[in-house]
Amino acid sequence: MSGAGPTADRRCTVWRHARLATLAGPSGWGLVEDGALVTRGAHIAWIGPDAQLPSGLATPDAHEQDLRGALLTPGLIDAHTHLVYGGDRAGEFELRLQGATYEEIARAGGGIRSTVAATRAASDDELFTGAAQRAQALMAEGVTTIEIKSGYGLSELHEGRCLAAARRLARELAVTVRTTSLGAHALPPEYAGRADAYIDAVCGWLGAQQAAGLVDAVDAFCDTIGFTPEQTQRVFEAARALGLPVKLHAEQLSNQEGAALAARYGALSCDHLEHLSDAGVAAMRTAGTVAMLLPGAFYFLRETKLPPVAALRGAGVPIALATDHNPGSSPALSLLLMLNMACTLFRLTPEEAFRGVTVHAARALGLADRGTLVPGQRADLAVWDAEHPRELAYRFGHNPCRRVMFGGFERLTPSGPRERAPEAGALP
């Protein structure tokens, strides 16, 4: 566990006397008792037992921080959110508690489409401010990377405004944002009865979104109240033509064999998956696609059909977890709560759950530079008031995050700005 690179005179921090959960290697926590970790610039330069900390590794002006036994882990990654939208759906929540189903509300023109109306009516600043507040709630729990989907604008103009708000978050907050274009989330009212024409429009505006630097990946909602596999495939073809990776909201409410379709396009992840078939599991394994489980939506929609965790585990499909934060099916703003829910509801082990918001979440975003504490990885770190990482999945409604380092700079508070302006090139 060594490997300082030859990078010159960049600012260093030496974290000493920490319990490290490195997640290095294919399984296990990778625990190092009384460990040390050296960051240089935006990256991890060295990690290992404190007693083996090499002298002369850090620059003379390095900040030295004694963590006195606190737990140090990779920063957390929320790899599936819909953070940018207007309004809320608390009234719909009440309707569902009185017996209306999510599908019934959607078919009656509520659901996603009511959020679309509120999103279109919101100003750019309102979209940004609402999303920033939600992002900071996630960041307070040690989140350093967030994926944000569009999908509540549903026109070229409004989808672009939502993706631009997501990009602005990355400029103004100390967090990495990956954007996903989800025009194929629901049918907007002006295209009622013309789903194929709407899909043509979605495919048509992807190129301009990409040219504007607004999109890192493409997603769709393939389900009875979403789009058909054929329509989904057309979106995937358009993404492939542009060289954009795909992912899919698959088998959430029904089995459309969407996961197998997505796997044929080399999808980064398939998400939800309660109704995933054995064929879908096999296709995901072959393609190396991550299974993104979303316990917040399962819980909030009071679903009873469990995702096939044993089959995914048996096939060696990497499992990730995310909040799926959105106003309709998962208004959750705690990734730590998802750890607990994934264990209690889906029977993941605490280690599987934690890998799901670190290593496997990074993979679901196609990011190879984060998710573990290994030399060369980004210095995205979280310090916890905990003795063992399993405690992060055990307690709920409790936030033990004490400090966060983002790309080699400590945030002033866990959700706050960087302690000082970044050096050019040090941050994404």
Interface residues with ligand DI6 (CB under 6 A)? 111-112, 115, 185, 221, 249, 252, 297, 324, 326-329
Where does this chain touch Fe ion (CB under 5 A) — which range of 86-94, 189-197, 232-240, 319-327? 319-327
Q: Which residue has the closest beta carbon to ligand DI6?
A: 328
Q: Which of 141, 274, 324, 352 binds Fe ion (CB under 5 A)?
A: 324
**Whether 37 contacts 2, CB under 8 Å:** no
Instruction: Mark 203-234 as b/e (b = at least 16 C-beta within 10 Å).
Output: bebbeebbeeebbbbbbbbbbebbbbbebbbb
User: Token pair of 359, please?
Assistant: 């290593």
221 binding partner (options ligand DI6, Fe ion, none; Cβ < 5 to 8 Å by kind) = ligand DI6
Choose from ligand DI6, Fe ion, none: what does 296 bind? Cβ within 5-8 Å by kind: none
Amino acid letter, residue 268 = L
Residue 22 interface partner, choices ligand DI6, Fe ion, none, CB cut-off 5-8 Å depending on type: none
Taking the least distance from each CB to Fe ion, the nearer of 324 and 352 is 324
CB of 113 to Fe ion, least distance (A): 16
**Cβ nearer to ligand DI6, comparing 85 with 265:** 85
- Please report how close the Cβ of residue 212 comes to Fe ion at its closest, in angstroms: 23
- Give the phi and the psi of residue 382 in degrees, each rounded to 5: -125, 135
Helix (H) / strand (E) element for 313: namely helix 309-315
Nearer residue to Fe ion within complex by CB, 14 or 116: 116
Site for Fe ion in 245-264 (CB under 5 A): none
User: How far is CA 156 from its chain centroid?
Assistant: 24
Contact of residue 209 among Fe ion, ligand DI6, none (CB under 5-8 Å per partner type): none
Q: Which is nearer to Fe ion, 78 or 324 (CB)?
A: 324
Q: How far apart are CA 163 and CA 182, in angstroms?
A: 10
Give per-residue burial for 84-122: e unless 16+ CB within 10 Å, then b.
bbbbebeebeebbeeeeebeebbeeebbbbbbbebbbeb
Q: How far is the CB of 243 from ligand DI6 (least distance, A)?
A: 24
Q: Round to whole Å and give the CA distance between 164 and 361.
A: 23
Measured CA to CA, the distance from residue 291 to residue 217 in angstroms comes to: 16
Three-class HEC string of 198-246: HHHHHHHHHHHHHHCCCCCEEEEEECCCCECHHHHHHHHHHHHHHCCCE
- The CA distance from 152 to 240, in Å, is 23
Residue whose CB is less far from ligand DI6, 234 or 325 = 325
292 and 48 Cβ atoms separated by less than 8 Å: no
Instruction: Let me know: does 281 contact 315? Beta carbons within 8 Å.
Output: yes
Picked from Fe ion, ligand DI6, none, the partner binding residue 252 (CB below 5 to 8 A depending on kind) is ligand DI6
Pick what 328 binds: Fe ion, ligand DI6, none; C-beta below 5 to 8 Å, kind-dependent: ligand DI6
Question: Quick one: which of 420, 426, 386 has its CA closest to 63?
Answer: 420
231 binds, among Fe ion, ligand DI6, none (CB under 5 to 8 A by kind): none
- Least distance in angstroms from the C-beta of 255 to ligand DI6: 15
Cβ closer to Fe ion: 50 or 324?
Answer: 324
Residue 216 or residue 324: which is nearer to ligand DI6 going by CB? 324
Q: Are strands 71-74 and 381-384 parallel, antiparallel or unpaired?
A: antiparallel
Q: Which does 340 bind (CB under 5 to 8 A by kind): Fe ion, ligand DI6, none?
A: none
What are φ and ψ of residue 242, in 5° steps?
Answer: -95, 0
Nearer to Fe ion, 141 or 324 (CB): 324
Give the range of 185-193, 317-325, 386-394, 417-425 binding Fe ion by CB under 5 A. Answer: 317-325
- Residue 149 beta carbon to Fe ion: minimum distance, rounded to whole angstroms: 7
Between 12 and 202, CB nearer to Fe ion: 202
| Residue 329 contact among Fe ion, ligand DI6, none, beta carbon within 5 to 8 Å by kind | ligand DI6
Q: Min. distance of Cβ 111 from ligand DI6 in angstroms?
A: 5
Tokens standing for 285?
A: 């394994």
75, 142 Cβ separation under 8 angstroms: yes
CB of 84 to ligand DI6, least distance (A): 12
| Residue 387: other Cβ atoms inside 10 A | 11
> How near is the Cβ of 402 to Fe ion at its closest, in Å?
30
In the complex, the smallest distance separating the C-beta of residue 328 from ligand DI6, rounded to whole angstroms, is 2
Task: For ligand DI6, give the closer residue by CB, 105 or 173.
Answer: 105
Q: Whole-number minimum distance, CB 315 to ligand DI6, in Å?
A: 24
Binding-site ranges for Fe ion (CB under 5 A) = 324
